[in-house]
Chains A and B, each alone.
Chain A
Amino acid sequence: MRKLTLAVATFALLAGCGYSDTQVPAAVTPEAAPPAATVPCEDDTGDPTRSYATADVGNSKAIQDIRDQGFLRAGVSADSYLLGSRNPFTGVIEGFDIDMVNQIAAAIFGTAQGHVQLRVISAADRIPLLQSGELDIVARNMTINCSRWEQIAFSAEYFQSGQKVLVAKGSGIRSVADLSGKRVCAPAGTTSLDNIQEIAPDAIPVTAGNHTGCLLKFQNGETDAITGDDTVLAGLAAQDPYAEVLTGEALTDEPYGIGVNEENVDLVRFINGVLEQMDADGSWQASYKKWLQPSLKAPATQPDPVYGR
């Protein structure tokens, strides 16, 4: 029998059909990551945008320490177009958030030139890096809220953002009500996705790793709309001439603040002074007009600071 098998194998091999086909591997679906645990807010003071009032802290230890190290260490984003993103032509990180960092550095050193060390961080790194003291500030479209106040401190609100929807021009979608039966993309595990499902329950949720991933799906016809902060959507719309952000009332309020270590109250007071100065000299407005207004297509004013902590 063995000899017979060998003989048959010989002829089969000589005929060139001796091997079974190489199998194309099937997809292996990874286990879904558990949703991030939300930190409960135990000490709700009412208005989370309340910060520390300005004071003459220019020569305080907090500011002097930064002068001594020679540069301001700021955590920023490099892929949020118009807020903080790397210009591929110049290699420079630029945007509305970066303007805030440069203004603070200029107030400390006289000029921002050569006195800023930008560190590109992920959203998840924002609080740990402030707590560990590796960063002086974080300017990375960070929403001020009560639970974050329990971990870090915030400047006064420097931009009033809110959740909106991006759609294709001429898609016929004019409001959130038109999203029924349409696919809407948001980064997985974000509150934006939960909000849109609450407001437009018949919309079909689509997820991606981040907002730029949603734009990729939008351009490839895998989603009809994207939802997220209006600033982020403005950055996406600026990259695609066929996209527009729906105008009108925002679905939620997202007040942005500069994050600081909670011990560093003098730095917070100093930053609030810088923000007031920006309001007074028109530099905030200039920055808004340069980066966000062309895509948001609406004028805006700097939020009035709220103090009282």
Chain B
Amino acid sequence: MTQTQVDSSHEAQLTKQLVQEDVPRLLSRWQLVAVLACLLFAILTATIQVLSWNANRQAANNTEQLVRVQNIQSTLFRADALATTAFLTGGLEPPEQRAAYDEAIETITRQIAEAAEAQPADRDALAALNTAVTEYNATIAQARANNRQGFPVGAEYLRTASAGLRDTAVEGSAIPIVQALVAANAERAEDELNAQHPFLILLPGLAALGVLYWVNRQLARRFHRRINIGVAAAFATVVVLTVVGFFVAAIQASSNNDLEAGSYDTSYRESTARTAANDAKANESLRLISRGSGQVYEDRWVVASETVEDNASTETLPYWADYVAVHQDVVRLDTEGQYDQAVELSTTDTTLDAFDARSQEVIADAGFQTTDALRGGNTGILVLGFFTLAIGIAAAGLVTWGIGLRRREYA
């Protein structure tokens, strides 16, 4: 059989096949499949990108809320430290210490309102916290009123207020509530920080590429051209969008991991240290108020001090060491029977204030770095999402155009 005979036989077979098949209908079907693949790819990839954008936004919001509730926690302990220390100085407490206590309570009240505004899921817990803080403040007021008259029951009110603040055996105690708020917001922030999924973004792309490859093969089998230019262009577009999407998500995931181990962690741990530092100071005062019966407070001081040393940043640890040296002097004086000197040292020392001030700066800086980094490059992901949607729809148009060429050719 000659070459001419072979060609004519093949053409005849193709013509016969095309005559047997309803080609326009097949073309419409392939076109529909390819267009749907492109559109689904565009919608799903864009959705994942919008989800990533939103996760970063939420991570920033949750980090802000975490910093806020941790600040409430630290300030509560600071208020308690101020109240207990003021008690040591006698019936008439120094006006500046009273003012610092009042300012701490005002800060707490304001931040509770801000936190309730920022996170609806925290509202019930914050309402319970507000009640606990009001009760604490009222008991401190009773302690003051009695202390000003020289009655020892004032010290008992103070101990009750301090214990009630921390007591896990009492329903609605402030510190357990604020600890629950810290835990919930830390979990939310960390979940959102880990919500970047580069490999997930590959799935719609790979699925769309598979469909486009199959459609191209069907066309190639029925027509003389191996590649349909429209389908190939859509294929290339999907490849580019998928690769870009993957790398952007991978970079974001890596950046979030760095944040979680970096500034986020610094902010969280420094807040933990600041809370424990103020708890330690309150226990130092309670030790002195209880005098010989104060060992239980010294034991709590030791636990709080270990928490500070485990969590404080390198910026604040030297300040803590200064305070620890003073505390050891206070304990030595108290143990040696020089109680008045111990009280004098404890009430006039400002090393803890220095730690607290520096610690607040570290927390504010680290918290800002975290939220700034999360929000800074985040708009790009949203733009990429819209871009993916638009170009994905354009890819569907390319497929329509490419298969349209074959339809015209057949006609």
B169 pairs with A121, CB closer than 8 A: no
Stretch at the interface among A24-32, A177-185, A255-263, A284-292: A24-32
Stretch at the interface among A87-95, A266-274, A295-303: A87-95
Give B203's nearest chain A residue, CB to CB: A3
- The interface bits of chain B over 145-159 (1 if a CB of A lies within 8 angstroms of the residue's CB, else 0) are 011011111111100
A169 interface contact, C-beta 8 A: no
User: Which residues, 120 to 154 on A, are CB-close (under 8 Å) to B?
Assistant: 120-122, 125
Residues of B within 8 A of A219 (CB): 142, 153
B239 interface contact, C-beta 8 A: no
Residues of A within 8 A of B58 (CB): 13, 18
Q: Which of B153, B181, B291 contacts A215 (CB 8 A)?
A: B153
Give B167's nearest chain A residue, CB to CB: A27
A78 pairs with B292, CB closer than 8 A: yes
Stretch at the interface among A4-12, A35-43, A51-59, A158-166: A4-12
User: Which residues, 69 to 120 on A, are CB-close (under 8 Å) to B?
Assistant: 73, 75, 78-81, 85-91, 117-120
Q: Considering the chains assembled together, what is the distance between the CA atoms of A143 and B214 in angstroms?
A: 99
Chain B: residues with Cβ within 8 Å of the partner, total of 55
A21 pairs with B153, CB closer than 8 A: no
Q: Which of A120, A125, A213 contacts B156 (CB 8 A)?
A: A213
Chain B nearest CB, measured from A176 CB (Å): 24
B47 interface contact, C-beta 8 A: yes
Q: Which of A21, A25, A239 contacts B152 (CB 8 A)?
A: A239
Chain A nearest CB, measured from B147 CB (Å): 5
A26 pairs with B171, CB closer than 8 A: yes
Q: Which of B91, B92, B154, B168 contacts A28 (CB 8 A)?
A: B168
Q: Considering the chains assembled together, what is the distance between the CA atoms of A235 and B156 in angstroms?
A: 14
A216 interface contact, C-beta 8 A: yes
Give B119's nearest chain A residue, CB to CB: A19
Main DSSP-derived SS at the B contact region: helix
A28 pairs with B150, CB closer than 8 A: no
Residues of B within 8 A of A14 (CB): 54
A23 interface contact, C-beta 8 A: yes
Chain A nearest CB, measured from B32 CB (Å): 21
B291 pairs with A78, CB closer than 8 A: yes
Give B48's nearest chain A residue, CB to CB: A6
A17 interface contact, C-beta 8 A: yes
B168 pairs with A25, CB closer than 8 A: yes
- The interface bits of chain A over 178-210 (1 if a CB of B lies within 8 angstroms of the residue's CB, else 0) are 000000000000000000000000000000001
B128 interface contact, C-beta 8 A: yes
Give B124's nearest chain A residue, CB to CB: A21
* Given A88-B147, A91-B343, A119-B337: A21 touches B47 (CB 8 Å cut-off): no
A223 interface contact, C-beta 8 A: no
B292 pairs with A16, CB closer than 8 A: no
Q: Which of A17, A23, A28 contacts B169 (CB 8 A)?
A: A28
Residues of A within 8 A of B188 (CB): 19
B90 pairs with A91, CB closer than 8 A: yes
A213 pairs with B160, CB closer than 8 A: yes
Chain B nearest CB, measured from A54 CB (Å): 29
Q: Which residues of B contact A (CB under 8 A)?
A: 44, 47-48, 50-51, 54-55, 58, 90-92, 119-125, 128, 142, 146-147, 149-157, 160, 168-173, 176-177, 179-181, 184-185, 188, 204, 290-293, 337, 339-340, 343
A22 pairs with B343, CB closer than 8 A: no
A216 pairs with B150, CB closer than 8 A: no
Chain A: residues with Cβ within 8 Å of the partner, total of 53
* Given A22-B121, A75-B292, A91-B340: A216 touches B47 (CB 8 Å cut-off): no
A20 pairs with B156, CB closer than 8 A: no
B152 pairs with A79, CB closer than 8 A: yes
Q: Which one of A26, A120, A240 has the greatest number of beta carbons of chain B within 10 Å?
A: A120
* Given A213-B156, A216-B157: A27 touches B292 (CB 8 Å cut-off): no
A88 pairs with B91, CB closer than 8 A: yes
Chain A nearest CB, measured from B45 CB (Å): 10
B180 pairs with A79, CB closer than 8 A: no
Q: Considering the chains assembled together, what is the distance between the CA atoms of A30 and B165 in angstroms?
A: 16
B44 pairs with A3, CB closer than 8 A: yes
19 residue pairs A–B, Cβ–Cβ below 8 Å: A9-B51, A13-B55, A13-B58, A16-B120, A18-B58, A21-B124, A22-B122, A23-B184, A24-B124, A24-B177, A24-B180, A27-B171, A30-B169, A78-B291, A81-B151, A81-B152, A85-B152, A86-B291, A120-B293
A231 interface contact, C-beta 8 A: no
Give B296's nearest chain A residue, CB to CB: A122
A227 interface contact, C-beta 8 A: no
Q: Considering the chains assembled together, what is the distance between the CA atoms of A280 and B191 in angstroms?
A: 80
A155 interface contact, C-beta 8 A: no
Q: Considering the chains assembled together, what is the distance between the CA atoms of A17 and B90 in angstroms?
A: 51
Q: Considering the chains assembled together, what is the distance between the CA atoms of A182 and B119 in angstroms?
A: 47
Q: Considering the chains assembled together, what is the distance between the CA atoms of A266 and B169 in angstroms?
A: 49
A23 pairs with B180, CB closer than 8 A: yes
Known: A21-B124, A216-B157. 20 other contacts (CB 8 A): A7-B47, A19-B119, A22-B125, A23-B180, A24-B125, A28-B168, A29-B169, A73-B337, A79-B155, A79-B156, A86-B152, A91-B90, A91-B343, A119-B337, A120-B291, A120-B292, A213-B160, A215-B156, A235-B152, A236-B153
A49 interface contact, C-beta 8 A: no
A20 pairs with B47, CB closer than 8 A: no
Residues of A within 8 A of B340 (CB): 91
B51 pairs with A19, CB closer than 8 A: no
Q: Which one of A75, A85, A212, A238 has the greatest number of beta carbons of chain B within 10 Å?
A: A212
Q: Which of A27, A75, A213, A238 contacts B168 (CB 8 A)?
A: A27
Chain A nearest CB, measured from B171 CB (Å): 4
Q: Considering the chains assembled together, what is the distance between the CA atoms of A23 and B179 in angstroms?
A: 11
Give A75's nearest chain B residue, CB to CB: B292
